[in-house]
Amino acid sequence: MRALRNLLLGMAAVGPMLGSALAAGGAPTPPTQQWSFERIFGTYDLAAAQRGFQVYSEVCAACHSLTFVHYRQLSGIGLTPEQIKAVAAAVTVPQGLDDQGAPKEGPGTPANKFKAPFPNETAARAGNNGAYPPDLSLMVNARVGGPDYIYGLMTGYGTPPATMVMQDGMNYNKYFTGHQIAMPQPLQDAQVTYADGTTASVEQMARDVTTFLAWAANPELVERKQMGVRVILFLLLMTGLTYAVKRKVWSDVH
C-alpha cells in the first residue's frame, strides 16, 4: 500500500508539468499564503483541519472523492474514536452478500475508505454535465503551488473581462489555466455553520478545506519532520563524538 501511494504521488507530480506544457499562457500564480504546516518545524492547525473536514463533508463530498483516505485516519486531525465511528456510520457501504446471494449494504466503520459520491466515472460525468470531478486525496501534491493553488482556485471566481468569450457551462476563474472551469463556484459566505463559532467566509472556508486536503495528501508530514529533527540531532551528536575520539586517539602524536 505504501509503495502504491508513493507511485501515485510520483504520477501526481508529473501531471502538473504535463499540464503546464500543454497550456498556452497558463494562469496567474496565486498569491503566496502562510501555512502552519509548511514551516520547517510546522504542524497542522487541527482546528482548521477539522473545520476543513466539515467543509469537505458538507460541500465538496457531493462531487469529489477521497479514495486513499480511511475514516480511521481522521484521528490525525484530532477526532475522537467515538466521533470517527459516528462519521463512518453516517454512510452506507457494501457489506458483501446476504443469505440469498444479493449485495447488501450497511453502516460504514472506521476501517472503510471514504465513500465516493459516484459509483463510477460514467455516473460522475453524467451528474456533472460531462465534467469529471477529480479525486482530492492527493490534489495538494498534484498541483503546482500546492496549497496556494487550491486556496487560489477556491477564491478565484469572479466576473470575466468584457472581452472574454465564455464557453457554455463554464465559469470564470482567474487562477485556473485558461480561466474557464467547469466547476461552479463551490463556496459562498455562511455556507456552513462552524461549531466553534468561526465566521464562515469564502476565504476562511477555502483556507480550512485546503488545510484538510493538505493533511489528507500528507498525513505523515509531522512525523516525517519529527524524524528529520531526530536524525539531524543524532548526526550532530555523532559528529561531536567522532571529533572527540579523533582528538583522543591522535593526542600523543607529534
| Tens of each residue's pLDDT in the chain, 254 residues | 545 454 444 444 444 443 443 333 467 899 999 999 998 888 999 999 999 999 999 999 999 999 999 999 999 999 999 999 999 999 999 888 888 888 888 999 999 999 999 999 999 999 998 999 999 999 999 999 999 999 999 999 999 999 999 999 999 999 999 999 999 999 999 999 999 999 999 999 999 999 999 999 999 987 887 787 788 888 899 998 898 888 888 877 75
- Residue 84: its pLDDT value, please? 98
pTM as predicted: 0.81
41 and 229 Cβ atoms separated by less than 8 Å: yes
β partners of residue 157: 173
CA distances from 11 to 6, 16, 24, 28, 158 (A): 9, 10, 22, 24, 32
Termini Cα distance of the chain? 58
- Residue 25: its pLDDT value, please? 46
Instruction: Report phi then psi at 106, rounded to 5.
Output: -160, 180
Beta carbons within 8 Å of 160's beta carbon, 6+ residues apart: 166, 172, 179
Say how many C-beta atoms besides its own lie within 10 A of residue 15's C-beta.
Answer: 15
C-alpha cell belonging to residue 138: 492527493
- Residue 16: its pLDDT value, please? 42
